[in-house]
Amino acid sequence: METGLKHRSVLVTGASGGIGAATVRLLNAEGAHVIAAGRNQERLSALSKETGCETRVFDLTSEDDVRSALSDLNPYGVVNCGGWGGEIATPMDANIEVFDKVIDINARGTLLVTKYASQRMVESGKGGAIVNVSSQASLVGLAGHVSYASSKGAVDAMTRVSALELGKYNIRVNAVNPTVVMTPMSEWYWGRDDIGKPLIDAMPLHKWATEEDCAGPIVFLLSDAASMITGVCLPIDGGFTAV
């Protein structure tokens, strides 16, 4: 499959995390010029040494930071992968400060990057593609995820509205909605038999996603092979939301 991404500039936020880093590696393999962004300079530097990607450090919650970091970029593609999981809590005991922070990073941060990146993309007149990394949590009810699910529901809505608004500039906007990626960070919760087993038993493929499972569809949606796809929220969930 010809992706058309060779020599094209793609910004990936959250690149110091698993899905973001896997996306950077796959884009690099496709010959794209990748700008890997995040808050962990040490991890970004290691990724740059491995792939040759450019790096930028900025805070997704700061409009000044985002505006400044993107002011000299001319991206063809954007992957909004920066995010934070927050807490496990019900609506009855949710910490509102945590809720505000999750919304600030996941939803507001995605909008800020979209805002300033799309301005540059429109100015270039070359079209492009934006992929937002959402979550299965925005598509189904997951106990304990009221803050995280709310933030990703906002990302899904943002994806559809952005697709509508930016389509006239030949800029496509889509989202991917991964299931659990079993990292050491998620193992403590989803690795429990009483929590993770019912979900994976109900999943037709009966396995957790990997970072690479998520990176592939992201790169596809950025590519010319998806040139007629926009406004879509694509589950990467082993069929969980289909049953």
Residues contacting 182, CB < 8 A, separation 6+: 190, 191, 208, 209
Could you tell me the CA-to-CA distances from 36 to 40, 126, 131 in Å, in that order? Answer: 11, 21, 15
3-class DSSP state for residue 172?
strand
Q: Which of 76, 101, 116, 152 is catalytic?
A: 152
Q: In what order do the strands lie in the sheet with 233-236?
A: 54-57, 33-38, 9-12, 77-80, 128-133, 171-178, 233-236
CA dihedral 125→175→145→26, nearest 10 degrees, is: -100
Tell me which H or E stretch contains 37.
strand 33-38
Q: Which of 6, 49, 101, 148 is catalytic?
A: 148
Half-sphere exposure of 10 (CA within 13 A, CB side): 35
Catalytic-residue membership of 101: no
Q: Residue 73 to residues 62, 152, 178: CA-CA distances in angstroms?
A: 18, 26, 28
| Under 8 Å between Cβ of 161 and 230 | no
**148 is annotated as an active-site residue:** yes
Q: Alpha-carbon distance 56 to 11, whole Å?
A: 9
Going by C-alpha positions, the residue among 21, 16, 32 that lies closest to residue 224 is 32
Q: Which residues are catalytic?
A: 148, 152
